[in-house]
A and B are shown apart, each in its own frame.
Chain A
Amino acid sequence: MNQLNTYLYIAAILFSIGIFGVMTRRNGIAVLMGVELILNAANINFIAFSKYGGMNFDGHVFALFIIVLAAAEAAVALAIVINIYNNLNTINVDEASAIKQ
């Protein structure tokens, strides 16, 4: 039960759910939540390989960097989403297709 394969399957399921969310959501913030699911799936893989590869801590450091990148990405993406909302009065990503109004 508690083996490497179990964690890899969980990460694969989370990754697929995240891809589904990114592809089917209209709302920009919901797309962002799908991206967070994908990044978390990658993190689970890194830490699982770190444990079953003989407790090698490089995987932990890599997962730490991914979390930092996710924080930066969320901050910039939400600033962009709020700008889109101010300009177009919607955050539907299908309608925000022009660079300039």
Chain B
Amino acid sequence: MSEFVFLVVTSVTIISALGVVLSNQLIYSAISLLFTLFGIAGLYVFLWADFMTGIQLLVYVGGILTLIIFGIMLTNKISSARLSQTNMQQGIGSVVSLWLLIVLSLVISKTNWYSVSSSEPVSTVDKIGTLLMTKHLLAFEGISLLLLGALIGAAILARKEI
């Protein structure tokens, strides 16, 4: 049963990721991205990362995808709906991405990965919180400053007159 669910989640993730890059209408790409992000959240469940699943759903699906759909709707023209969405680099793009996929697969299959088995944790939230407040405190404060800067920068950039 678990194997079957894993297979379904994996195929949903990869097929809708293909839909993101191949679909002709931008809004269909955004909807495909929604399913990809849901599939990745499902993979996090299989990886015992419950907190990361929640963050993925809240931030990606609830925040970034909404921003992207807003961006599409603010910049879409009805007359340009039938225009081709791809540029002249389709050939070289597919060659480069296939080459990358082959090289990465070779590396993954040839490497003898270090792997230890561990038991499933009851909850990951307290461990992540402790790490954020002790070992990674400097990075945590730095990223809060970066978020503030990005917020102010985006608000200033998106104003009508600069």
Contact = CB atoms under 8 A, between A and B. Distances in A.
The yes or no verdict on A and B being binding partners is yes
Contact of A75 (B36, B80, B154): B154
A26 B85 contact: yes
B21 A50 contact: no
Contact of B96 (A23, A32, A70, A79): A23
Prevailing SS type, chain B contact patch: helix
B14 interface: yes
Prevailing SS type, chain A contact patch: helix
B14 A14 contact: yes
Contacts of B104: 12, 15-16
B29 to A, nearest CB: 6
Contact of B97 (A1, A23, A70): A23
Nearest to B139: A65
Interface residues of A, number: 70
B75 A55 contact: no
Interface in A69-90: 69-76, 78-83, 85, 90
Contact of A24 (B6, B17, B87, B101): B87
Interface residues of B, number: 82
B68 A52 contact: no
B53 to A, nearest CB: 10
A68 to B, nearest CB: 5
Interface string B107-147: 01100011110110100100110011001100100010011
Nearest to A12: B104
Q: Which of A18, A20, A85 has the most CB of B within 10 A?
A: A20
Interface of A: 1-10, 12-21, 23-27, 29-30, 32-34, 36-37, 40, 43-44, 47-48, 50-55, 57-58, 60-61, 63-65, 67-76, 78-83, 85, 90-91, 94
Closest 5 CB pairs of A and B: A21-B21, A72-B150, A23-B93, A79-B157, A12-B104
